Amino acid sequence: MAVAAVMTLTTYSCKSQKTLSEATTVAETTDDVEEIAPIQYTKPAAQTTSQPAMAAPAPVKAATPDRTERVTVVNSTESGMLKGFNVIVGSFGSKTNAENQKNKMIGRGYKAFLVQNSSGMYRVVAASFDTRESATAVRDRIRSTYSTESGTCAEAWLLIPQR
């Protein structure tokens, strides 16, 4: 009885009335099979964003390292102004050029003065402090405020005088 049910099911469930055993050739068998279109894969479309592209950050210039050197204050009336940590905004072989930079910094509100090292270079001190933290904060403010200036303020550094 079970065999008769399978035969009946096989005969009526297919599109063709022939069973596989009744097909005589491969061509006859393939004619009875429904063709299925092959699956075609496509790449997904590129996603677009409504946000503008962010520009790469400008490279940050490496900080000039702190320097320690023996210096003397050029004008004796300013000798009490030299402290342990000094923000240098210019280094010149010419005293005239150093004076010009000093006057520019005074015009900007700094108590600038000149020191000279043992090699004869004039250093323009924009500000002098007892603590490294205070000097570093002013140095960084000068660098950021005058970063596009063609002068030397963008490269301000700390001088620690030798005693």
Q: What is the CATH number of the domain that holds 72?
A: 3.30.70.1070
pLDDT score of 61 = 52
**What is the total count of domains within the chain?**
1
78/73: higher pLDDT: 73
Q: Is residue 22 part of a domain?
A: no
**Which pairs from 4-9 meet CB under 8 Å and 24+ separation?**
none
Say if CB 155 and CB 148 are below 8 A apart. no
Give phi and psi for 139, each to the nearest 5.
-55, -45
Residues 128-158 have pLDDT tens digits of 999 999 999 999 999 999 988 777 788 999 9
Q: Is residue 113 part of a domain?
A: yes
Give phi and psi for 85, each to the nearest 5.
-135, 120
Q: Is residue 17 part of a domain?
A: no
Q: Is residue 141 part of a domain?
A: yes
Look up the domain containing 151 and give its range.
67-161
Q: Is 109 left (phi over 0), alpha (psi -120 to 50) or beta?
A: left
Distance CA(63)–CA(72), nearest Å, equals 25
For the whole model, what pTM was predicted? 0.61
Q: Is residue 89 part of a domain?
A: yes
Q: Is residue 72 part of a domain?
A: yes
Distance CA(77)–CA(131), nearest Å, equals 23
Residues 7-58 have pLDDT tens digits of 444 444 444 454 544 444 444 445 554 555 555 556 656 655 555 555 554 4
25/88: higher pLDDT: 88
Checking if the pLDDT of 110 tops 70, the result is: yes
Closest CA to 78 of 89, 66, 86, 69: 86
Mean pLDDT, residues 104-115 taken together: 96
Distance CA(49)–CA(142), nearest Å, equals 39
Query: For residue 33, which amino acid is it?
Result: V
pLDDT score of 152 = 74
Q: Which residues pair with 87 in a beta bridge?
A: 127, 158
Query: Cα separations (Å) of 58 from 7, 54, 55, 139, 146?
Result: 80, 12, 9, 20, 16
Q: Is residue 85 part of a domain?
A: yes
Q: Is residue 125 part of a domain?
A: yes
